[in-house]
Structure 1
Amino acid sequence: MTVAAVDASTATSLYSQGTTAAPAKQTMDSDVFMKLLITQLQTQDPSAPMDSNQMITQTSQLASMQQLTSLGTTTTENFSLQMRIAAASMIGKTASYTDSKGITQTGTVSAVSFAAAVPTVTINGTAVNLDLVSGISTTASA
């Protein structure tokens, strides 16, 4: 017996009233963790409350998760700062990059822009993303 597939986007029910559900979160952040803990406390059996050791363990896990999230944010910000410092230190130096045609171009870095997520350096009048620069050398003084 063959059963036809049901498309969830067109299905209706008594409770949905044609509204679309919010997309599910794919990550567990501190808000989700806290909501679960509150729900657990609200629905616990009064005659057998949650073990205090378990409560301390879960609270410690929440604090650890918040610190790891903070550490990840700090690491991302540090990487961004390092890219900016590297781009700024290239001004006046000779840099090489491969253009869209696959040809290696070389020229002097004359400017840096931090407007985009990845800094861009200007090499012979062309804006080049920092991650496309393949080499740097000091310009020989005349």
Structure 2
Amino acid sequence: MAVDPVTGASSDTPSVSGIYTTQPTRVPKQSLDSEAFMNLLVTQLRNQDPSSPMDTNQMIAQTTQLAMMEKLTNMDSTNQENFALQMRMAAANLVGHTVNYIDKDGATKSGLASSVSYEGSVPVVTVGDQKIPLDSISGVVSPTPAPTV
């Protein structure tokens, strides 16, 4: 009877391979981040041919590309945060104004915006008893000032 030195299983009886009862699964990343680029660079350095090492100019160029990618990623997240803040500010400024919106049936309606909720990714404006997402509001009317006597 032959025994596999890695798994300890004999070739006569089928069994689960290795120490795992189920095969471990690896979820692949859907995007490249700085960690992935750094791993690639380190792997490239480890596996380079000692008789012809990597050109230092190439290494500097790759490091620069990594730094640029990190900065662009940071700028993207900052832009997303700024956009979310702008949406919140725009929604807050609607309170007390008459707004036009498109309801679930596709009809255009209007009403007075009384409050705003920031629970979801898109602010929700309350008009009467309706909860209207900010991106469904199609117009705003300034409140008329009270007449002075």
Task: Normalising by structure 2, report the TM-score.
Answer: 0.79
Determine if the alignment matches structure 1 residue 55 to structure 2 residue 48.
no
Residue ranges of structure 1 left out of the alignment (5+ in a row): 1-13
Letter in 2 for 1:19: Q
Deviating 4+ runs (over 4 angstroms): 14-18
Letter in 2 for 1:102: G
Determine if the alignment matches structure 1 residue 104 to structure 2 residue 98.
no
Q: What are the superposed Cα offsets for residues 65-108 of structure 1, whole Å, 9 maximum, x if unpaired?
A: 00000010011011001101100111110001111122222111
Structure 1 residue corresponding to 2:28, chosen from 10, 13, 24? 24
Q: What are the superposed Cα offsets for residues 37-65 of structure 1, whole Å, 9 maximum, x if unpaired?
A: 00011111222211111110000000000
Letter in 2 for 1:138: S
Residue ranges of structure 2 left out of the alignment (5+ in a row): 1-16
Deviates more, 1:29-38 or 1:41-50: 41-50
Structure 2 residue corresponding to 1:79, chosen from 80, 83, 93? 83
Identical-pair percentage: 47
In the TM superposition, residue 18 of structure 1 has moved relative to its aligned partner by 4.8
Structure 2 residue corresponding to 1:131, chosen from 135, 141, 144? 135
CA distance in 2, matches of 1:111, 1:35: 49
**For the aligned residues, what is the CA RMSD?**
1.9
Structure 2 residue corresponding to 1:95, chosen from 81, 90, 99? 99
CA distance in 2, matches of 1:86, 1:138: 14
Task: Normalising by structure 1, report the TM-score.
Answer: 0.83
Deviates more, 1:126-135 or 1:42-51: 42-51
Structure with the greater relative contact order (CA < 8 A, sep ≥ 6): 1 or 2?
A: 1
Which has the greater radius of gyration?
Answer: 2
Instruction: Indicate the SS of the match to 1:32.
Output: helix
Instruction: Indicate the SS of the match to 2:111.
Output: strand
Instruction: Indicate the SS of the match to 2:115.
Output: strand
CA distance in 1, matches of 2:92, 2:121: 15
In the TM superposition, residue 17 of structure 1 has moved relative to its aligned partner by 7.5
Instruction: Indicate the SS of the match to 1:53.
Output: helix
Determine if the alignment matches structure 1 residue 66 to structure 2 residue 59.
no
Q: How many residues align?
A: 130
CA distance in 2, matches of 1:30, 1:81: 27
CA distance in 2, matches of 1:133, 1:27: 34
